[in-house]
Amino acid sequence: MALQRGLESEVVRIVECCRTLNQAKQVHAHIYRNNLEQCSYVITKLLRFVTSLTQVPLHSYPRLLFAQVHNPNPFLWTAFIRAYALRGPLSQALRLFCSMRKRRISPVSFTFSALFSASGAARDTLLGAQLHAQTLLLGGFDSDIYVNNAMIDMYVKCGFMRCARKVFDEMPERDVVSWTELIVAYARRGDMKAAQDLFDGLHVKDMVAWTAMVTGYAQNAMPKDAVEVFRRLLDEGVEIDEVTLVGVISACAQLGASVYAKWIRDIAESSGFGPGSSVLVGSALIDMYSKCGNVEEAYNVFKGMRERNVFSYSSMIVGFAIHGRVHAAIKLFYDMLETEVKPNHVTFVGVLTACTHAGLVDLGQQLFATMEKCYGVAPTAELYACMADLLGRAGYLEKVIRLVETMPMKPDGAVWGALLGASYVHGNPDVAEIASKHLFELEPDNLGNYLLLSNTYASVGRWDDVSRVRKCIREKNLKKDPGWSWVEAKNGMIHKFAAGDLKHPQINEIKKELNELLERLKGIGYIPNLSSVLYDVNDDEKKLLLMAHSEKLALAFGLLSTDAGSTIKIMKNLRICKDCHIVMCGASRLTGRKIVVRDNTRFHHFLNGACSCRNFW
């Protein structure tokens, strides 16, 4: 018996060294010569290797290998079931499972793990529930961590969070995988409160669990929470990897403050994941610096990377585009084509965005027409939305309508939204009505669409239609997101302002500074742009409303709280209005300051009375 076990172990060791099918067949012959062809242990190892060779059909050699064993044990059955569960068809895995049960052979935990995984991948909740019932009928699996974790994963993938949570709550014993699976699932669904509650209940938190929380907060537009969790992670002495860093870098990009950018860059460098050694972190840093208003440093990171991939190039092209560095974006795109890196759809989103911000309609149309044929990038709904934006901003509204009519897929909200936005810019309520009709069907509770239609009517003085749309808003009980602006003070602290804000402790000084600035602007020809107020009120009231815009308050605070000659950076959650754009231009001329404003569309760099957008925005 000892000699037999030694021989089995030796054969298994040889199987583990196999790399090709021919080598496996040689080992199979060796198995026959040593009378081991009925040994489930040895044949299981060989079957696992052979089924991992994707070029070998499961119904050919692997089936013959399995069939040669007269009384396969549960592990050999499971190896063959798992192969079909992974490679398909799933129906064949289920037939094998049923044959196994008919022979009264009890499954092992790996049998169910494989089948639950396949059910989740197929989003087959009914099959998953039937397998769940099998674990209960057979008994003994309710305390199996591996089976329960696979079951949780299956229910999560099928979208049945309540069932996943019920399995979790009834587990007599859980490991970190059990907790982390649900934390990640809640985070992906946007339920960060449930994710945080679970995380707080996890006594021993590993890097994966911490990363799930950091990434979850970042992906759900809760950057301050992401940074706070990351700080706690560092305090706990938890090791970090590239994925953790990319999550918190994304959060810093959302915050848009240079103080966070420097902080996380230093941590990445000291952890050995600087842009020179990690293409993943380097690409994230490019995106972060671009969104923090420092496209020059983004390009320095790009140039310093030893390795660049499609994400590095795409991030840099998008960064140039949103900063109005149109020619730099287009040049980098063509430089990329000279390398082995192939563009993807994000690359084309970037270069089409660059064309949009400069009104380069012909180039944009040429790239869109050739991207699939020449570069293998099929047009997506997002790319059609880019084209609709490009044509619409340039005033070709009829061309946008024709583009929408020829789309191979159903137009989504982004496409119709681009047309509605262009209709507002060009004061065309008729086209706005066409776009809004579709948007109201696709996004019935999106207040922004109603406001854009109302503003389009207001821009041409159709106040009765404005009243009709606003009545609809009231009936639907839709609430408007307030306009906010953030500005970074000298000490790196972020100050947030709402329109008409009276809560800031320095509000009186801010108002005084703003009034003095506006008086000086009037001396060089500034006249308030009353068309930026889309309310049917008198001119004096319009002027008061314009003075209360959040970006003007942020500008005044920036002038008060930063050193003379330093750049003022303002972040805004909505699009900057025409009047504020005029004020920023004038302020940059009067003060000699560079003013950078990031709105929800792009960056505006104001210097010496001019904007980088050249008023094409």
Number of CB atoms found within 10 A of residue 472's CB:
14
Give yes or no for a contact between 375 and 343, defined as CB atoms under 8 angstroms apart: yes
Can you read off the two tokens belonging to residue 599? Answer: 């709105």
If DSSP codes are grouped into helix, strand and coil, which group holds residue 549? coil
CA 420 to each of CA 105, 234, 299, 452, 556: distance values in angstroms, whole numbers, following the listed order: 64, 46, 34, 7, 33
Mean pLDDT of 335-349: 95
Give the pLDDT confidence of 22-73 residue by residue, as tens digits.
998 998 998 888 888 898 999 999 999 999 998 999 999 999 999 999 999 9
Give 347 or 447, the one with higher predicted confidence: 347
If DSSP codes are grouped into helix, strand and coil, which group holds residue 342? coil
- Between CA 353 and CA 616 the distance in angstroms is 13
With 0-12 CB in 10 A as exposed, 13-18 as middle and 19+ as buried, what is 422?
Answer: buried
- Between CA 216 and CA 243 the distance in angstroms is 12
Domains plus CATH for the chain?
379-480 (1.25.40), 484-611 (no CATH)
pLDDT value of residue 615? 73
pLDDT value of residue 537? 64
Q: Is the pLDDT of residue 321 over 90?
A: yes
SS (H, E, C) 192-212: HHHHHHHHHHCCCCCHHHHHH
Q: Is the pLDDT of residue 566 over 70?
A: yes
The residues, any chain, with a CB within 8 Å of residue 133's CB and separated by 6 or more, are none
**What residues form DSSP beta bridges with 488?**
494
Give the pLDDT confidence of 161-184 residue by residue, as tens digits.
999 999 999 999 888 889 999 999
pTM (predicted TM-score)? 0.81
Give the pLDDT confidence of 474-494 residue by residue, as tens digits.
888 887 777 889 898 877 788
Give 536 or 376, the one with higher predicted confidence: 376
pLDDT value of residue 447? 85
Q: Is the pLDDT of residue 3 over 80?
A: no
pLDDT value of residue 12? 86
The mean predicted confidence, pLDDT, of the chain is 91
Can you read off the two tokens belonging to residue 490? Answer: 């000298």
Angle at 398 between CA 392 and CA 404, to 5 degrees: 80
pLDDT value of residue 371? 93
545: confidence class by pLDDT, cuts 50, 70, 90 = confident
